[in-house]
């Protein structure tokens, strides 16, 4: 857990610039910080560092353009579950309604600025109780926090600097490369500046001049004919879309791996059991091993606390997947057929963080009670009680307070 905190703390010095920009009021920020300070005690994952969060967003953006884009990114978007930010990935919106049930993976560098959508929303969700109370408490902060984590993984490609969201990424404590890239982009953008200020209905010029922080696509770029675009769209459908379709269809899901700079897609229909999937992924990412649990795919494995630790220490990575409800589960718990029907996305997670997953399951008992009725492969309650004693906040805080109210909205969603 410590690296991101460290990284974040380095930035502690610079703070609040963007928040000011987005919230427009210093006092708001202060209150935010104060509240986060309160949060600190409760937020196990240490995401409460208001300053750290701010700082990663706050590096002065070289251009007005970026600043305005950043403002957009930091606009208060998270609302009630189901409300949707138009600029966000639809996945994110799906997830936003499940925030309470997301395991927190704050340490997870994911492949790029948008990262596993869950990561972003989880972070936000943690604070959501507060965010509604605070003006201008921007989503961006949460995002940037997760981005900070992203920075910690070695990333070879500079083009990430040009991805939406990764604008935020570049602002953190990353290897100088990212910083240089940002600066370079600033320089590079100037020649094209002429296009930037123009109101362009195509939204093309403005978006492309090195500040593609918005997800708005450039019209007609990359230059691919519609027939090809449409054909590929139907080829790589999500599980949801393919469900109603009879006959052979591909079941493409995205696979991300922590620390890897890219995502892949696999067609789940190409495999008939977990072992096949595992070896295919192994080949693809060539440095990952699936934990021994659940490779038989039958029934539920009871994960005792010690067994879990053994497994996770034994292999460097574990394979998790996101199911239809937006929950992140360990792969292998359900029969294969059920798995491919519900799997929407795969993620190869560092086992050290999987421990965090287990802890997080236990962290908030309320989350658990919302989820346990489903009882699918999640860490069992008895172990969780143990964790609860160790880490949970005192019961008094559970009974009242804004944070609980904020959270309870999501409990009901379970």
Partner 1 sequence: MESSKLKREKDSQISDELNELRMESSELKKAKDSPISDESYRRSSFPDEVLERVISLLNSHRDRSSVSLVCKDWYNMERWSRTHVFIGNCYSVSPEIVARRFPKIRSVTLKGKPRFSDFNLVPQNWGADVHAWLVVFAAKYPFLEELRLKRMTISDASLEFLASSFPNFKALSLLSCDGFSTNGLAAIATHCKNLTELDIQENDIDDKGGGWLSCFPESFTSLEVLNFANVTSDINFDALERLIGRCKSMRVLKVNRSVSLEQLQRLLANAPQLTELGTGSFSQELTPRQYEDLESVFNNCKNIHTLSGLWEVKGLYLPALYPVSTHLTFLNLSYAVLQSDELAKLLVHCPQLKRLWVLDTVEDKGLEAVGSNCPLLEELRVFPADPFDEEIVYGVTEAGFVAVSYGCPRLHYVLYFCRQMTNAGVATVVRNCPDFTHFRLCIMTPGQPDYLTNEPMDEAFGAVVKTCRKLQRLSVSGYLTDLTFEYIGRYAKNLETLSVAFAGSSDWGMQCVLAGCPKLRKLEIRDCPFGNAALLSGLEKYESMRSLWMSACNVTMNGCRLLAREMPRLNVEVMKEEGSDDDGRADKVYVYRSIAGRRRDAPSSVLTL
Closest to partner 1 by CB, 32 or 260? 260
147 forms part of the interface with partner 1 (CB under 8 A): no
153 is a site residue for partner 1 (CB under 8 A): no
CA distance 27 to 10: 24
Nearer Cβ to partner 1 (8/178): 178
Please tell me whether residue 283 binds partner 1 under the rule CB under 8 A: yes
Whichever of 26 and 154 has its CB closer to partner 1, that residue is 154
Is residue 83 close enough to count as binding partner 1 by CB under 8 A? no
- Ranges within 256-275 binding partner 1 (CB under 8 A): 256, 261-265, 267, 269-270
Contact flag: residue 219 with partner 1 (CB under 8 A): yes
Stretch of 219-227, 309-317, 365-373, 393-401 lying at the interface with partner 1 (CB under 8 A): 219-227
> Applying CB under 8 A, which part among 38-46, 79-87, 135-143, 199-207 lies near partner 1?
199-207
* Straight-line distance from the first to the last Cα atom of the chain, in angstroms, rounded to the nearest whole number: 27
Whole-angstrom distance, CA of residue 15 vs CA of residue 50: 9
Complex with partner 1: residue 232 or 287, whichever CB lies closer: 232
Minimum gap (Å) between residue 55 Cβ and partner 1: 25
Q: Which of positions 224-253 make contact with partner 1 (CB under 8 A)? A: 224-229, 231-232, 235-236, 248-250, 252
Distances from the Cα of 368 to the Cα of 103, 144, 291, 358, 372, angstroms: 11, 28, 23, 11, 6
Yes or no: say if 45 and 160 are a contact pair by the CB < 8 Å rule: no
Which one of 25, 34, 83, 217 is in contact with partner 1 (CB under 8 A)?
A: 217
Q: Does 25 bind partner 1 (CB under 8 A)?
A: no
Is residue 284 involved in binding partner 1 (CB under 8 A)?
Answer: yes
Here the contacts of 304-311 (C-beta below 8 Å, separation 24 or greater) are 304/383, 305/383, 305/386, 308/355, 308/358, 308/379, 308/383, 309/355, 311/351
Tell me how far CA of residue 44 lies from CA of 368, 372, 393, in angstroms: 16, 21, 9
Q: Closest Cα partner for 239 from 264, 262, 268, 270?
A: 268
Using CB under 8 A, pick the residue from 184, 272, 298, 386 that binds partner 1: 184
Task: Choose the stretch contacting partner 1; rule: CB under 8 A; options: 56-64, 255-263, 304-312, 373-381.
Answer: 255-263
Total residues binding partner 1 (CB under 8 A): 66
Q: Which of 164, 172, 377, 414 binds partner 1 (CB under 8 A)?
A: 164
* Residue 384 CB coordination number (10 Å): 22
CB of 292 to partner 1, least distance (A): 26
One residue of 34, 83, 202, 279 binding partner 1 per CB under 8 A: 202
Q: Please give the residue ranges that form the binding site for partner 1 (CB under 8 A).
A: 111-114, 156-160, 162-164, 180-181, 184, 188-189, 191-192, 194-195, 198-202, 204-205, 208-210, 212, 215, 217-229, 231-232, 235-236, 248-250, 252, 254, 256, 261-265, 267, 269-270, 283-284
């Amino acid at each position: 857990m410590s690296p991101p905190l460290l990284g974040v703390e380095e930035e502690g010095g610079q703070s609040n610039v963007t928040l000011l920009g987005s919230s427009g009021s210093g006092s708001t920020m202060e209150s935010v910080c104060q509240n986060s300070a309160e949060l600190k005690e409760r937020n196990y994952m240490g995401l409460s560092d208001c300053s750290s969060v701010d700082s990663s967003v706050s590096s002065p953006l070289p251009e007005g353009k970026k600043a305005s884009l950043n403002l957009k990114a930091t606009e208060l978007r998270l609302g009630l579950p189901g409300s949707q930010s138009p600029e966000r990935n639809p996945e994110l919106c799906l997830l936003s309604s499940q925030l309470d049930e997301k395991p927190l993976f704050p340490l997870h560098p994911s492949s790029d600025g948008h990262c596993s959508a869950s990561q972003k929303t989880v972070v936000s969700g943690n604070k959501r109780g507060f965010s509604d109370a605070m003006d201008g408490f921007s989503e961006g902060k949460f995002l940037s926090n997760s981005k900070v984590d992203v920075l910690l993984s070695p990333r070879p490609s500079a083009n990430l600097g040009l991805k939406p969201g990764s604008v935020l990424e570049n602002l953190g404590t990353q290897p100088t490369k990212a910083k240089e890239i940002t600066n370079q982009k600033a320089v590079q953008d100037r020649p094209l500046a002429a296009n930037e200020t123009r109101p362009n209905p195509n939204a093309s010029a403005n978006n492309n001049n090195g500040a593609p922080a918005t997800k708005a696509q450039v019209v007609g770029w990359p230059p691919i004919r519609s027939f090809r675009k449409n054909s590929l769209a139907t080829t790589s459908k999500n599980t949801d879309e393919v469900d109603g379709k009879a006959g052979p269809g591909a079941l493409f899901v995205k696979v991300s791996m922590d620390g890897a700079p890219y995502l892949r897609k696999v067609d789940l229909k190409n495999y008939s059991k977990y072992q096949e999937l595992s070896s295919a992924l192994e080949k693809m990412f060539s440095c990952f091993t699936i934990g021994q649990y659940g490779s038989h795919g039958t029934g539920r494995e009871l994960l005792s606390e010690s067994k879990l630790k053994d497994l996770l220490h034994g292999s460097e990575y574990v394979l998790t997947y996101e199911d239809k409800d937006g929950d992140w589960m360990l792969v292998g718990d359900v029969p294969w057929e059920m798995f491919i029907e519900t799997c929407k996305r795969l993620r190869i997670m560092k086992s050290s963080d999987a421990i965090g997953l287990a802890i997080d399951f236990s962290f908030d008992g309320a989350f658990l009670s919302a989820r346990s009725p489903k009882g699918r492969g999640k860490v069992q309650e008895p172990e969780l009680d143990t964790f609860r004693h160790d880490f949970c906040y005192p019961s008094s805080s559970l009974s009242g307070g804004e944070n609980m109210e904020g959270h309870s909205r999501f409990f009901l969603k379970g």
